[in-house]
Structure formats: structure tokens, C-alpha cells
Amino acid sequence: MAVNMAQTSAFPQIAAQDWQALRQVWADIQPDSCPYSYNFHMHTTCSDGQLTPEELIQQAIAIGLKGLAITDHHTTLGYQIAQHWLENWQPSSPSSSIPHLWTGVEITADLLGTEVHILGYAFDPQHPGLQPYLQGKTLPSTDAQAAEVIVALHQAGGLAVLAHPARYRRSAEELIPIAAHLGIDAVETYYAYANPYPWEPSSIQTQKVKQLSATYNLLNTCGTDTHGTNLLKRL
């Protein structure tokens, strides 16, 4: 399913790496932005999801998403396939709109001796500094320190986000200040920890994380963390 990205036009690549536009979206994110307007945390069969990239992007269009990112673990292949599909898509209706697809990835890293997930967005997937993290597998913690992952994403022109900060062995109160000190750009504030359907962010965790993001001047993101066949929930 490999896609020759050299054959794609320059415009989709520029749009996929437009971190300024993404920051503006995050600045305006609300509790109800996900899952019907934006979704920045989804997985495909290129890592541990059940939707193919083509199925995911078709479902995103059917939902009416304005913007999204595919965040497969340690690979951007899902993004590449979905972008290729979008470039060849012929809308069935004049009212159909093309969602903004940013590059995305989820990288396992060590923070305070705890395994965490760092989401990367709007980066150059060909940047040499990111290649160790895009080989389809988790690196040993000694080779994937959060500080190094954040630096690599920034060097590739992207943004770094601490995923679901209330899901780890250490608390959000411990992790977010350190992540902010290391240069993290945002936290995944709106997240459904109990996997409800319909999807909605967990109120207690959301309030806590949003207070911390404000304290440390971080942006807020949202995502369903979909691994199943429905983008409107996690599993």
C-alpha cells in the first residue's frame, strides 16, 4: 500500500504541514468540537486500528469533519495513503467539502520514568531527525526520551502534544509541568477516558487538564483515539 509521495502536488504537502493554521484551530477548540468538526487522534490498519486509511478518510468526509490528523503509532503511512486518496477523490455533490488533513503520528516516549504518548502534527514526514521514530515500532525508553521526541518534532517543523494526560501512572499534575518545560505545545484536553457512546470528553479530567494547560500557556486539542471502525468513539 506504499504511496509515492514524490508524485503528489506541492499544495497538499504544504497544507498538511501548516502548523500555523493548526495552532489557530486549537486556539478555538471547544468541548463539542470533537468528533463532528475536528478529530486529531485516530488510528488505521497501518498501526493498531481497524479502519483502512481509505475507510477512515471516507468516514471523515461523511461525518463532515473540517480538519483531522491520522496518528498511527510510529508511522505516517496511513496519512500518506489517505492524502493520496483525497487527491484523487471526485465529490459526488458540489456541497461536499475536502477536510484539512494534517500530518500526524503517535510516539511512545519516556517522561519522568513513565511511558507516555506524544502526538506530533504538521511536521515534515521526510525530516531526517524524525526517521528513528517512524519505523513502525516503539523504541527502548533510553532511545525515546520525551525531550528528544519533542525536539525532533520541532526540528521537522511540527507541533508536539501530550496525549491523554490523565491516563498514565503519574498524574497530569506531575507530567504537564515537565512536558511544558521541555517545550510541548499542547495537551489533549478533550478526551473520553471512559469510552462513552456517544463520545464526549470526561468532565473531571477535562477540567483538571484545562486548568493546567492555562497555567502553563499550552494549547488544547481533542480526539477520539479511535481504534475501531467508528470515528465517533474510541473502540
Whole-number CA gyration radius for the chain: 16
The answer to whether the Cα torsion of 175, 115, 144, 231 is positive or negative is: negative
Which cell numbers hold the place of 199? 463520545
Mean pLDDT of the chain: 94
Q: What does the pLDDT read at residue 102?
A: 98
The reported pLDDT for the residue numbered 9 is 40
Phi, psi angle pair for 73, to nearest 5°: -75, 115
Rounded distance, CA 81 to CA 78, Å?
5
Q: What is the mean pLDDT of each run of 10 residues along the chain (235 residues)?
A: 36 88 98 98 98 98 97 98 94 81 98 98 98 97 96 98 98 98 98 95 98 98 98 95
Can you give the pLDDT at residue 90?
83
Task: Report all structural domains of the chain as residue ranges with CATH numbers, in order of start.
Answer: 9-222 (3.20.20.140)
Q: What is the pLDDT of residue 85?
A: 96
CA distance 194 to 206: 12
Q: What's at 188, amino acid-wise?
A: E
Type of residue numbered 233: K
Within 13 Å and on the Cβ side, how many CA atoms surround 34? 31
CA 16/CA 215 separation, integer angstroms:
29
Instruction: Round to whole Å and give the CA distance between 144 and 200.
Output: 31
pLDDT digits (tens, 9 = 90+) for 99-114: 999 999 999 999 999 9
> Quick one: pLDDT at residue 172?
98
Task: Tell me which H or E stretch contains 189.
Answer: strand 186-190
Helices (H), the chain: 10-16, 19-27, 53-63, 77-87, 146-155, 172-181, 203-215
**Nearest to 69, CA basis, from 141, 120, 144, 9:** 120
Phi, psi of 14 (to 5 degrees): -65, -45
Length of the chain: 235
pTM for the model? 0.94
Provide the grid cell at 194. Answer: 471512559
Rounded distance, CA 145 to CA 122, Å? Answer: 21
Q: What is the pLDDT of residues 205-214, one digit of tens each?
A: 999 999 999 9
Give me the pLDDT at residue 11, please.
63
Residue 3: its pLDDT value, please?
A: 35
